[in-house]
A and B are shown apart, each in its own frame.
Chain A
Amino acid sequence: MTGYLADAAALARKDLIVELRTRDTVPAMLLFVVAALVVFHFALPAESSRLAASGMLWIALLFTALLALVRAFVGERDQGTLDGLVLAPCDRSAIWLGKTLSVLAFLLFAEAVALPAFALFYEDVTWELVAGVALANVGIATVGTLLGAMAAAARARELLLPLLFLPVAIPLVVGGVGATVDDDPGRYLAFLGLYDLIFAILSWASFEYVVTE
């Protein structure tokens, strides 16, 4: 068990070190999310409700997440290093876990900028919003990593991943927006937890089949 977690940790650390040295993904994510929030200001009519603004935030977060998810496996595939990981004796799902952890880290960095920007431009950030974002992050990272691996094996992968990801992300948007605006956020947060549980288990279990022949 500790070997499994150690493998995942080593892989996650590897991704973070690579990102630290190339600075490919996170700066783009930061810039993108702020730009999106600004664009949305011009897209929303004046005196828009809290609901509309929250909805826009979630759209911005989803598309920012897609940036990270697309890059998650593209590098590994293009450089061929995914073969190296698949050849290794570690559990293939440990590869998934490592990637998921690094994607989560990138999302957290992006949200550390996005949420204050949201508070500045639109509405206050409540604890319910933060909780919703935290739970949704898990869902995005777990499912997105699996789908990213699927898409990376295909042509036109940057186009394919959003197509694969957005339908599955719809429940996350419902849960997140609901948690933010509804009087009873508990229901929505519980729903997000349920989503995370179901899809994390599914993704963990099926990753092996997506990266091997």
Chain B
Amino acid sequence: MSAPDADTIASGRRLGVPEQADADGEGARRIIRARGLGRRFGDRPVLSGLDIALDRGGFLLVTGPNGSGKSTLLRLFAGLLAPTAGELEVRSDRRRLGFLGHEPLLYRELTALENLDLYGRLYRVPERRERIGMLLERFGLWDARGATVSTFSRGMVQRLALCRTLLHDPELLLMDEPFSGLDSDGADLLQAELADPGGRTLVVASHQPERIETLATERLALA
């Protein structure tokens, strides 16, 4: 696996697998491409032999029971893990990728504002303060902005995690069980976001996909 460059988040090639030329125009449209993708932890294979093609603007729904490797797949897409077999190409860079994993990736001892400010700086979000304010309002956290995350309820934490994920207006959104922990208001907000993603490409992993099934353009069921 070669080190990812600035324009590709995840690029993994196993030795000996020949690269196949893209058909005309396919390269520009395809945002995620995987061939024979596999990931093993020690001796235990979690994913193997996956072939995936996702176009920009698409919505890939990944389903499967717990332990089927949904989280691992999303982490592979995000570049947090490297493949141990097969090829993976994700044509996006870290600046334009939003990731919502199992963990909210928030600092418990910082306030909501401080958390978003930190990520806003790291992602070079333009008009940072305004954008943070707008997101906090949208997800109903404006009043709690000065409270540390340790005081938040589970639903509030998840909502703040969503703010963090959307803060830098990513073009590719990877979400792992985004509805978990959300109360009904939060769930409605998220549903609205997923229904009208404004040109974003979405990959959502869920083991209870009833809410969003109809929105997906592609499906991948993991065993």
Contacts and interface: CB of A to CB of B under 8 A. Distances in A.
Interface string A64-98: 00000000000000011101111111100000000
Given A17-B110, A87-B97, A79 B103 contact: yes
Contacts of B123: 88-89
A38 interface: no
Contacts of B78: 87
Contacts of A18: 107, 109-110
A10 B107 contact: no
B80 A213 contact: yes
B45 to A, nearest CB: 16
Contacts of B99: 83, 87
Given A88-B94, A213-B82, A81 B105 contact: yes
20 contacts: A3-B124, A7-B122, A10-B118, A10-B121, A14-B114, A17-B114, A21-B148, A22-B109, A79-B103, A79-B107, A80-B104, A81-B106, A83-B105, A84-B106, A86-B80, A87-B78, A87-B97, A88-B123, A89-B94, A89-B124
A213 B109 CA distance: 28
Name, among A6, A81, A84, A86, the residue most crowded by chain B CB atoms within 10 Å (CB to CB). Answer: A84
Contact of B107 (A81, A87, A212, A213): A81
Interface of chain A, main secondary structure: helix
Given A80-B105, A83-B80, 8 more contacts: A10-B122, A14-B110, A17-B114, A18-B110, A79-B108, A80-B103, A87-B99, A90-B122
Nearest to B4: A212
Interface string A6-23: 110011001001100110
A18 B115 CA distance: 11
Name, among A17, A79, A87, A88, the residue most crowded by chain B CB atoms within 10 Å (CB to CB). Answer: A87
Contacts of B169: none
B203 to A, nearest CB: 15
Contacts of B97: 87
Given A83-B103, A88-B122, A89-B124, A21 B79 contact: no
